[in-house]
Structure 1
Amino acid sequence: MTILVNTEELEAKVKDMYRHVAQQPQDRFHFELGAPVALRAGYDADRLADVPAGAVESFAGVGHFFDLADLQAGETVVDLGSGSGMDAFYAAGLVGPTGHVYGVDFTQEQLDKARRLATEAGLEQVEFREARIETLPLPDAVVDCVISNGVINLCPDKNAVFAEAARVLKPGGRLAIADIISEQPLTDAIVCNADLWASCIGGAAQQELYLQAIESAGFTIAAHRLNPYEFISDQARNASAKYGVKSISLLAIKTER
């Protein structure tokens, strides 16, 4: 997957947008935020009610994957691009006090909010670390499940993200994610547009290439499905309709070695 976008400009745009998501979730974005989108995606209402409200209001996910992840008590989980912590906190409710959840993000305002919420809720098994998702601050083979929601499309080097996920997972570990992909290759004009990348459009890889990248990193795709998902802004809707930009949820298993 060739990188065409200016990565420094992209990083600045992504940080600016998700700083805004953390601090002013009531504002209008290219995508919907909060409990309504989570419930439509398939999150359990009772379990969602136990997640800190401040994390739910800044939730910008694009699908549901926890049914595929099948998290168990005592497991260790890493959330790639954890934002204000919604999926990390949701995972914590599934792995329980004997489990551990690492949230990884590079936007300081998101990390600050997530850490504050974790402290207020007394969720000692949830830990947020500042890092890029293609260079995880964890040792090899220590994680049972890697999760991510609507974030990998924002990263120009998706091969590195999947390779890092494989590195930190134990043999037989799971990768359970929701993300944005496309049916048709995007034009260079879209791929080079940092605004569309930050809006979860410009970085959408073609579905076949996306799945191939996961397999090339040492995974076997166990299940995948397309999800109903709509962007809000006209610009994002138009690009989505023209190129078949869609949400996908999938489960992949790290090959035993």
Structure 2
Amino acid sequence: MNTTASAVPAAVNTIELESKVKQMYEDVANNPHGDFHFAMGRSLTESLGYAASELDRIPTEAVDSFAGVGCPLLLADIREGATVLDLGSGSGTDAFMAALRAGPDGLVHGVDMTEAQRKKASDLAVKAGFANVHFHAGYIESPPIADATVDVVISNGVINLSPDKGWVFREVARVLRPGGRLSLSDIVTEKPLPSDVTCNATLWAACIGGAMQEDDYQAAIEAAGLRVVQVRTNPQYAFLTDSARGAAKTYGVKSVNLCAVKDA
């Protein structure tokens, strides 16, 4: 999470936010069967559209710590030999699934700021023989990837956590080759969130406080030089706590899958 002054709104304490996000997702990595405000694991992946036959081919421990909000692979169109970047790769579920589709001649980079998640994913990649998957320390606002070297960028439930989503989308446009695509799942809102929500770092870490109004979210993608071509709502995704459900009902907080392209 990049905290450069020009990228940070005054509404949220980004130092506190980063700390809370890291702690939450460290717990997700180390204690996947604990109590969280969101659903996790194999049953969630299948309800979101992941193919059981593919899930059977990736490390079970990665799927146990899956905490996504949709299935970005549904719109990603990852082909044999593709280079893929997973922003906020977590325990590696989406990265490993992408590697299956990219094949042995493809390459998948995962970027995550939480050390426990990276270590878990990296250890699983070695153990399971995913030689074409590499996990890097970094922030989604500044992925350590060269310009115009990626065919597909994927992300799952992470961009809502960034204080500057426009910055993230500009970085996506930077790393994509002409003709490349962004396929993401994320939390957005139908109505603007009030300041008592957007100023609360705990609610940001819970994937609610940082959720952007859907029209503004798509506008930020377009402003970065990408063209939105498809958006699907994920009605099967639901928050678990009463407070999160209340926000979803009041402000239209919801999960979407979205695909955008970088025109050649």
Find the aligned partners of 2:111 and 2:73 in 1 and give their Cα distance.
18
Residue 245 of structure 1 corresponds to which residue in structure 2? 253
* 1:51, distance to aligned residue in structure 2 (A): 1.2
Please show how residues 9-48 of structure 1 align to structure 2 within 5 Å: 9-48=16-55
Match of 1:131 among 138, 156, 181: 138
Shift of 1:65: 2.3
User: Structure 2-normalised TM-score?
Assistant: 0.95
* Aligned-partner SS, 1:222: strand
Match among 104, 107, 112 for residue 111 of structure 2: 104
Task: Quickly say closer, same or farther: Cα 1:2–1:113, change in 2 above 3 A.
Answer: closer
Q: Provide TM-score, normalisation by structure 1.
A: 0.98
Residue 80 (structure 2) pairs with residue 70 (structure 1): no
Runs of 5+ unmatched residues, structure 1: none
SS in 2 for 1:170: strand
Q: How far off is 1:254 after superposition? A: 0.7
Which residue of 1 is the match for residue 166 of structure 2? Answer: 159
1:166-211 Cα deviation digits (max 9, x unpaired): 0000011000000000000000000011111001000100000000
- Report what 2:204 is aligned to: 197
Partner of 2:215: 208
RMSD: 1.0
2:62–2:124 CA contact under 8 A, matched in 1 = yes
- C-alpha distance in structure 2 between counterparts of 1:189 and 1:91, whole Å: 38
Deviations 1:109-130 (A, max 9, x none): 0001000000000111000000
Q: Can you list the C-alpha shifts for 1:100-157, whole angstroms capped at 9, x where unaligned?
A: 0000000000001000000000111000000000001011000000000000001111
Q: Which moved more, 1:247-256 or 1:173-182?
A: 247-256
**AA aligned opposite 2:166:** N
Equivalent residues of 2:8, 2:14 under 8 A apart: no
In structure 1, what is the Cα distance between the partners aligned to 2:230 and 2:246? 29
Q: Which runs of 5+ in 2 are unaligned?
A: 1-6
Alignment map for 1:74-89 (pairs within 5 Å): 74-89=81-96
Distance in 1, Cα, partners of 2:57 & 2:199: 40
The code of the aligned residue for 2:133 comes to V
Distance 2:218 2:171 in 1: 16
Matched letter for residue 110 of structure 2: G
Equivalences for residues 221-240 of structure 1 within 5 A:
221-228=228-235, 229-240=237-248
2: CA distance, partners of 1:30 / 1:5: 21
Distance in structure 1 (CA, Å) of the matches to 2:197 and 2:263: 35
1:188 pairs with 2:175: no
